[in-house]
Amino acid sequence: MNIGQILLNLWNASGFAAMTWQNGVMLIIGCVLLYLAIVKKFEPLLLCGIAFGCILTNLPMANLYHQELWTAFMNKEIGYGEILKNGGLLDFFYIGVKTSIYPCLIFMGVGAMTDFGPLLSYPKSLLLGAAAQMGVFVAFFGAVVLGFTGPQAASIGIIGGADGPTAIFLTSKLAPELLGAIAVAAYSYMALIPLIQPPFMKLLTTKKEREIKMEQTRKVSKAEKIIFPIAVTLFVALLLPDTAPLIGCLMLGNLAKETGVTDRLSDTMQNALMNIVTILLSVSVGATMVGTTFLTGETLKIVVLGVCAFILSTVGGLLVGKLMCWLTKGKINPLIGSAGVSAVPMAARVANLEGQKANPSNFLLMHAMGPNVAGVIGPAIAAGFLLNIFG
Amino acid sequence: MILTKINEITLGEAGVYGLLGYGMVFLGLVLLMFLVMILGKAFMVAEKKAAKKTVVEETPAEEVKPVAPGAAGQLSLNNVDPKTAAMLMAIVADKLQKPINELRFISVKEVE
């Protein structure tokens, strides 16, 4: 019995012997993301799972995730049967991402948690929600300039919509090889909204404009809140059928919330369902952060384009907010335009905070919630358009 | 719907898609805005009509009930029906070990 040989065999069979530099770097990145999630509280509900998925997928010889299987799937060389036969645990989790089930179920929960009342009481908020999608298309153009293909550029551009489920939905269909980088960028920047937006809000508005107090909006009836999700689903899905999965799920969730007779369903959508899907989605997305595909120059470009997309979306919303302020002779505070960036409710809170800094008696939160929730519908329409072109 | 997958695109095409896409988002949300405005106006008109149709009936003068011995005046009930108020008064009298006609109740109010 050769003990030395046995020990050598054990070592060679271990993950330590199979570790590459890319594995090592990605394990460190995973730990950094965990730090950001836990200590700095950057979107912890999602970033924790993404970070841990990143760590799991980069463990050598753990065989939890197989990038090569999904590459063959994308090239239509194999089907889901092969994935189920030869895949690991994270491959099975990832099926929910690839089939777009997870983002749609998350959107259902988002709809069940969203109150569209502020939007219904002030429908012009939809203009601000539309304006704040400027970053999507400018970043799309910028990505093409930097050498990305059309589908990749579309996936990068949608980061500007500041909507995680929409970004994952579109990227999983158009450029799944970029999913990890795009998801990390999108959720990290959403957490950084209080840092990214205020400088541009101060730059593009005057103190006088920031001081503007807006009139109380009208009360919205329950019937309106019930009709709204039905009307939006019919209208938007007929206009752009590719938006049907996202908009349909968003509005189903909202309808369950507003009817008053499906409280149990609404409660499940907001809580149990959201939590379960968040766990599976975040770990699956993290699993795509394989060292060989993540540690490239493209990831750095995505990080830069992502922050540009966020900034330009904020700028777009603020500029149209200023225009509406001018057209209404000072009745609209342009700060609410920045809330069209759909990080609900963080962007609305930031607009409220900046308004209060200018005028402590100014409460813009409910006014800002209108564009904020309009900004949930905007990226879905943008994604539907891009899917129509590149899908 | 464009069925062929477009991968490589020129800068000019990217610019056109970008403008078209932004325009499409605006178009979609502007049309939605008009839809919501129309719905809002329709609901407001319906609510006004319903409010006009409501007829306030004059309530007949209540019969003056004889005041029970010991009661110093009328009891004010806020969101409480007489039966519930009577039960509450009986419970209070029982707890205080005093006959109910020796207690004066001024108001009973349901606190939500």
Q: How many CB pairs under 8 A join A and B?
A: 115
* Residue pLDDT, tens place only, B49-69: 887 876 555 555 555 565 555
Of A172-176, A281-285, A379-383, B98-102, which gets the smallest average pLDDT? B98-102
Taking alpha carbons only, the member of A323, A375, A371, A325 closest to residue A210 is: A325
Q: What percent of chain A shows pLDDT beyond 70?
A: 100
Give the residue-averaged pLDDT of B60-86: 68
User: Whose structure tokens read 């938007």?
Assistant: A236
Taking alpha carbons only, the member of A246, A289, A274, A283 closest to residue A94 is: A283
Looking at chain A from residue 207 to 236, which residues have their Cβ under 8 Å from any Cβ of chain B? 218, 220-221, 223-224, 227-228, 231-232, 235-236
DSSP code, position A379: H
Taking alpha carbons only, the member of B90, B70, B46, B24 closest to residue A383 is: B24
Query: How many angstroms away from the CA of B40 is the closest CA of chain A?
Result: 7
Tell how many helices (H) and how many strands (E) occur in chain B: 2, 2
Tell whether the torsion through CA atoms of A182, A183, A188 and A190 is positive or negative: positive
Angle, vertex CA A185, rays to CA A47 and CA A294, nearest 5: 90
Put simply, whether the predicted model's pTM sits higher than 0.90 gets the answer no
pLDDT at residue B3 tops 70: no
Which chain B residue's Cα is nearest to A222?
Answer: B43
Give the residue-averaged pLDDT of A75-103: 92
* Residue pLDDT, tens place only, A311-323: 999 999 999 999 9
Give me the pLDDT at residue B1, please. Answer: 39
Contacts A385 to B, Cβ<8 Å: 20-21, 24-25
Q: DSSP letters of A232-301? A: HHHHHHHH-GGGHHHHHHHHHHHHHHHHSS-HHHHHHIIIIIHHHHHHHHHHHHHHT--HHHHSSHHHHH
Interface residues of B toward A, Cβ cutoff 8 Å, are: 1-2, 5-9, 11, 13-15, 17-22, 24-26, 28-33, 35-37, 39-40, 43-44, 47
Give me the pLDDT at residue A242, please. Answer: 87
Written as six digits, the tokens of A333 are 């505070």
Task: Find which of B14-18, B44-48, B78-82 is predicted with most confidence, using mean pLDDT.
Answer: B14-18
* Residue pLDDT, tens place only, A190-227: 888 888 999 999 999 999 999 999 888 888 989 999 99
Give me the pLDDT at residue A49, please. Answer: 93
Q: How far apart are the first and last CA of chain B?
A: 57
Give me the pLDDT at residue B67, please. Answer: 57
pLDDT at residue A158 tops 80: yes
Give me the pLDDT at residue A84, please. Answer: 94
